[in-house]
Structure 1
Amino acid sequence: MRKEWTCSRPDLATSPIACFIDFYNDLQAARIRSLKPFEPITYSVGSIQAGSSANVIPDDLCFSGTARFLQEEQGKAARQLFIRLLDEACHKNNCNYDFIQEPVPIHLFVDNEETCSEIAANAIIKTLGKNALTEHHAWMASESFGLYQQCFPGVFAFVGIKNVEKRVGAEHHNTHFAIDENVLKLGVATTVQYAIDFLNYGEEIPYEKETRDVTTLFNELNFAIYEPEDEWTLIGL
């Protein structure tokens, strides 16, 4: 978000901060007013940078964030809503904007293949017993394993590292995050059992394999790729 000039007097200046506040409040309210209530979606702003002095209204403001959703159409609707609200806020506050990276909804859902899920469930029962197996609700997080699942059939599972008695188990990316390390060996055991059962599975596992090459796939997913002397390196999202 940018305004026309820097000034210390709010009556003579246009504030990108005020513009952002308008936009953010509208965005939060739009979740209820404008998006389908039966299709989960979360979005958050994790970074805001503007100004360096308390008595000077800054020239610009830069913010970034993420959105997580379980249905692709909900993601597309959220993108259209995001841009419309940004247009309206900037018009109302006499600001303009540029995208450092334009918001693009991408299909990276973690969707466990049914056969692999059955193999994994049986592997857990074999290794740890039936009582160790439980289902987990949909998790509104970002997980790159979904990219692997576009190319190979697989299953994503939680090991369960929370232990109230040891006071560990805070959410990811939290300064208090810690794990019960005694559980790690159980994860290794069940993973090894799953690998053995997967390799011994006698039937073909049905799945729709990704047909795009890596370059095309990453470009369409809006990932930036750098190729220094035939060596592929992922440099940004």
Structure 2
Amino acid sequence: MNKMKEIIAELNSELVAIRQKLHSEPELSWEEYETTNYVAAYLENLGIPYRRTEPTGIIAELKGGKEGKTVALRADMDALSVYEIREDIPYRSKTDGKMHACGHDAHTAMLLIAAKTLHMVQEEIEGTVRFIFQPAEEVATGAKAMVEQGAMKGVDNVFGIHIWSQIDTGKIQCNKGPAFASADIFKVRFKGQGGHAAVPHDAIDAVMIASTFALNVQTVVARTVNPLQPAVLTIGKMEVGTRFNVIAEDAILEGTVRCFDKEVRSHIETQIRHYADQIASLYGGTAEVVYEYGTQAVNNDVASASLVERLAAEHFGADAYHIDDPTMGGEDFSFYLDEVPGCFALVGSGNTEKDTRWAHHNGHFNIDEDGLRVGAELYVQYALTWLSEN
């Protein structure tokens, strides 16, 4: 492990340069063609075999000099439709309206350097390391597509990292059990009967239906879900009405549901449908509900997460392991954990002096690049230790 630290330290300037290049050239979900080409060329230069997935993405594999099991390391690659506000960084996005506002550029850079480091000690590896460079995490469809294209075939354990601006640089968090919530999307369309604002008794007001639903559906969580089971129901978008003196005939609401328990998830969906139907009926209208299951909850394997906790203490300091509650954010890494045991860790990049505590998906988002080396090293440490102990 000391050897690994030395190698990654020597590669740090290259690690930062890769991240900055990727940051300046963001590509949206399922459009990561140039990023895929860059990763492919980098792996090819190292001599690590890989294959492309469709339409974007890379699966590579490094077979060690000794027989053993297979561990997979995953990094996502896609950017967001976010305008980068900061003007003070030389590697600012070259495309207005597209930005690596969540740190996926860092994940890809860290995994490439991890691959390079492991390649240097290939003959000492007891087993196989698979590298998954995944597209489309931000739309929650990339991991599922990678699994369908064989990413988990023959894999015994999987590990992923997310850079995290709300944790101090150098800290590592890996919850045992629930880590990220499931993330679903719902749309409710209410149908009333339009009319003139002066004669409301001749119409069925979709504004009233939608407003009543928006207020009352919050009691699904507040009054029908066990308070010991975390859950969030948020309506983030409402479209209703066309003109100040026209009673609206249609209303569309869109929202998200986040929780950790499958039964709670199913219950909330049922209740949303029930509330929509009953409230629409109360006013004489109708309701149509479309509920889409997105990412599953990320439930870390306890043994795998315990390994991360041990590695953090042994290699980054006794106080490096950060303990905090799970997040209600979603992560499609869950689809890998449906296939094999593993875990998903957070690596801190928050530094007030460097102005890197902005929330993810914010136009000011940036990372403390001192955290890159921690992530790259953790990828390597996890792979080597898991393989040697299993």
| Shift in CA distance, 30/193, structure 1 to aligned 2, threshold 3 Å | same
SS state at 2:238 partner: strand
- What corresponds to 1:155 in structure 2? 343
- What corresponds to 1:172 in structure 2? 360
| Alpha-carbon separation, structure 2, partners of 1:92 and 1:187 | 55
- Report the CA distance between 1:77 and its aligned residue: 2.1
Taking the TM superposition and a 5 Å limit, the aligned residue runs for 1:33-112 are 33-99=223-289, 101-102=290-291, 108-112=296-300
| Alpha-carbon separation, structure 1, partners of 2:355 and 2:295 | 36
- Report the CA distance between 1:6 and its aligned residue: 4.7
Tell whether 2:199 aligns with 1:199.
no
| Alpha-carbon separation, structure 2, partners of 1:142 and 1:65 | 14
The AA in structure 2 aligned to 1:142 is: G
Match of 1:129 among 317, 342, 351: 317
Per the normalisation by structure 2, the TM-score is 0.47
| Alpha-carbon separation, structure 2, partners of 1:10 and 1:175 | 46
- What corresponds to 1:190 in structure 2? 378
- Report the CA distance between 1:31 and its aligned residue: 2.3
| Alpha-carbon separation, structure 1, partners of 2:207 and 2:307 | 53
**8 Å Cα contact 2:356-2:365 kept in structure 1:** yes
| Shift in CA distance, 57/168, structure 1 to aligned 2, threshold 3 Å | farther
| Alpha-carbon separation, structure 1, partners of 2:262 and 2:284 | 33
The AA in structure 2 aligned to 1:24 is: A
The AA in structure 1 aligned to 2:296 is: L
SS state at 2:340 partner: coil
- Report the CA distance between 1:183 and its aligned residue: 1.1
**8 Å Cα contact 2:237-2:255 kept in structure 1:** yes
Any unmatched runs of 5+ in structure 2? 1-189
The AA in structure 2 aligned to 1:22 is: T
Identical residues among aligned pairs (%):
25
**8 Å Cα contact 1:2-1:96 kept in structure 2:** yes
Tell whether 2:312 aligns with 1:119.
no
Say how many residue pairs are matched. 200
The AA in structure 1 aligned to 2:327 is: W
- What corresponds to 1:141 in structure 2? 329
**8 Å Cα contact 2:220-2:268 kept in structure 1:** no
The AA in structure 1 aligned to 2:374 is: L
Deviates more, 1:115-124 or 1:192-201: 115-124
- What corresponds to 1:5 in structure 2? 194
Any unmatched runs of 5+ in structure 1? 203-237
Deviates more, 1:137-146 or 1:162-171: 162-171
| Alpha-carbon separation, structure 1, partners of 2:305 and 2:220 | 36
- Report the CA distance between 1:92 and its aligned residue: 1.4
| Alpha-carbon separation, structure 2, partners of 1:188 and 1:7 | 63
Match of 1:20 among 210, 216, 220: 210
- Report the CA distance between 1:27 and its aligned residue: 1.1
Deviations 1:81-126 (A, max 9, x none): 2122111210112211223x3355x781211112211222232234
**8 Å Cα contact 1:72-1:107 kept in structure 2:** no
Deviations 1:21-64 (A, max 9, x none): 10111112342222211111111112222234333333311121
Q: CA RMSD in A?
A: 2.1
The AA in structure 1 aligned to 2:234 is: S
**8 Å Cα contact 1:7-1:57 kept in structure 2:** yes
| Alpha-carbon separation, structure 1, partners of 2:244 and 2:372 | 49
SS state at 2:213 partner: helix
- What corresponds to 1:220 in structure 2? none
**8 Å Cα contact 1:111-1:146 kept in structure 2:** yes
